Amino acid sequence: MGAKMVEFNGWDMPVEYPASIGCGIINEHMAVRTGVGIFDVSHMGDIGLVGPEALNAVQHISMNDASRLAVGQAQYSALLYPQGTFVDDVIVHRLADDEYFLVINAGTREKDFGWVRDNTRYFNCCLQHRSDDFTQIAIQGPKAINLLQKLTDADLSKLKFYWVTRGTVCGLKDILIARTGYTAEDGFEIYIPPAEEISTRVWQEILAAGKEFGVVPCGLGARNTLRLEGKLPLYGHEISDSISVWEAGLDRFCKMEKPDFLGKPALERTKAEGMKKTLVGLEMVERGIARDGYKVLGEDAREIGYVTSGSPAPFLKKNIALAYVPPQHAAIGSTVLVEIRGQGVKAQVVPTPFYKRPKKA
């Protein structure tokens, strides 16, 4: 489609599609906020855990409480190192009584798989590396449901957010359909067979069916700005092997009342000790765009932290960023400086997420 391609963790990925077909990061971003956009996210990895002790295994390796999942339900969670920092963040889906399906990040998939294998070997369950079993397509935006409903017999109106079902999609039987995404918008992710001719046909059929809703293909660029507006973390930026759950502010997905999981003892300790840094949302007050890795300075121009992700926010029409700063600089309304090409440019700590999708009436 003439997209601008970039290598991303060994994958050739589209950054954005051409302006000549109505794309470009801003148009792609706006389509997802106001209509519908589709993403090829086949680079995501997938791990299956199946067997009598699959739940125990998932409970051991992840911080959220998978015992609360009904069959067909999914949850955001993370795999933690013993020190309470991130191996990766994941979505855990419960597909059957004793079958769990973990969607992991592209850049960490080999590491994740090895780590899950090593830490689940004493559980009576079977581990499956399923990353190459699927082409994963995300259909995202308020009109995603209208689009996908045209192509499937599954009743999508009955599928709640963070639930998963199976149905026929574009004539393909028994396709996994999850109401999930990485855009802070309503939407679906479908897992279809990876053969190129099938993937291409489904992609084209989705584009054709979405014409009446103004569907556009979206690349990694818009995926990043959309997730940033929604404050959804990106591995290697907001979360990493040197950042803890508390620092990242992901407390609500970490169930400390769970009997035991990797990282829990360290998290109990660090919770009592308090944090040295915490993740905040910044909005640029003066002219300038904060970018990943830029320094954050206090009002006295001393270095206090760093930007993890920064960009213009196409829907909000502001320049926003996520940054780690010491807790004493984290209060909403605090002024900090972002160092841009040697200059301290004023920014303010603002509430997050920057964008929250409107509730349906």
19 part of the interface to another protein, by CB under 8 A: yes
Report the alpha-carbon distance of residue 139 to residue 146 in Å, rounded.
10
**Least distance in angstroms from the C-beta of 221 to another protein:** 5
**Least distance in angstroms from the C-beta of 18 to another protein:** 8
DSSP string, 241-257: TTSBHHHHT-GGG--TT
225 part of the interface to another protein, by CB under 8 A: yes
Please name the residues in contact with 233: beta carbons below 8 A apart, sequence gap of 6 or more.
89, 239, 248, 250
**Least distance in angstroms from the C-beta of 206 to another protein:** 24
156 part of the interface to another protein, by CB under 8 A: no
- Strand-pair partners of 61: none
**Least distance in angstroms from the C-beta of 19 to another protein:** 8
Identified binder of another protein from the candidate list 5, 8, 15, 146, rule CB under 8 A: 15
Judged by CB, which is closer to another protein: 252, or 317? 317
Judged by CB, which is closer to another protein: 24, or 263? 24
> Residue 197 in contact with residue 191, Cβ under 8 Å?
no
Report the alpha-carbon distance of residue 199 to residue 193 in Å, rounded.
7
**Least distance in angstroms from the C-beta of 33 to another protein:** 14
Structural tokens at position 292: 């990943």
**Least distance in angstroms from the C-beta of 21 to another protein:** 13
Q: Which of residues 273-332 bind another protein (CB under 8 A)?
A: 287-289, 291, 311-312, 314
**Least distance in angstroms from the C-beta of 29 to another protein:** 8
Structural tokens at position 329: 């600089």
Which stretch, 16-24, 67-75, 157-165, 349-357, contacts another protein (CB under 8 A)? 16-24
Judged by CB, which is closer to another protein: 205, or 292? 292
Residue recorded with tokens 């955001």: 76
Judged by CB, which is closer to another protein: 48, or 314? 314
Judged by CB, which is closer to another protein: 320, or 330? 320
Report the alpha-carbon distance of residue 105 to residue 62 in Å, rounded.
15
**Least distance in angstroms from the C-beta of 231 to another protein:** 18
192: helix, strand or coil: strand
Report the alpha-carbon distance of residue 262 to residue 345 in Å, rounded.
41
- Strand-pair partners of 86: 80
Report the alpha-carbon distance of residue 166 to residue 340 in Å, rounded.
49
Site for another protein (CB under 8 A): how many residues? 18
Q: What are phi and psi of 55, to 5 degrees?
A: -60, -45
DSSP string, 120-157: HTTSS-EEEE-GGG-EEEEEESTTHHHHHHTTBSS-GG
Structural tokens at position 29: 């971003």
237 part of the interface to another protein, by CB under 8 A: no
342 part of the interface to another protein, by CB under 8 A: no
Identified binder of another protein from the candidate list 3, 13, 25, 139, rule CB under 8 A: 25
**Least distance in angstroms from the C-beta of 25 to another protein:** 4
Q: What are phi and psi of 293, to 5 degrees?
A: 90, -10
Judged by CB, which is closer to another protein: 23, or 147? 23
Residue recorded with tokens 């556009």: 216
Distances from the Cα of 266 to the Cα of 175, 235, 271, 273, 349, angstroms: 40, 20, 8, 11, 29
**Least distance in angstroms from the C-beta of 283 to another protein:** 15
344 part of the interface to another protein, by CB under 8 A: no
Judged by CB, which is closer to another protein: 109, or 223? 223
223: helix, strand or coil: helix
Identified binder of another protein from the candidate list 158, 160, 341, 359, rule CB under 8 A: 341
Judged by CB, which is closer to another protein: 25, or 176? 25
Q: Tell me which residues touch another protein (CB under 8 A).
A: 4, 15-16, 19, 24-26, 221, 224-225, 287-289, 291, 311-312, 314, 341
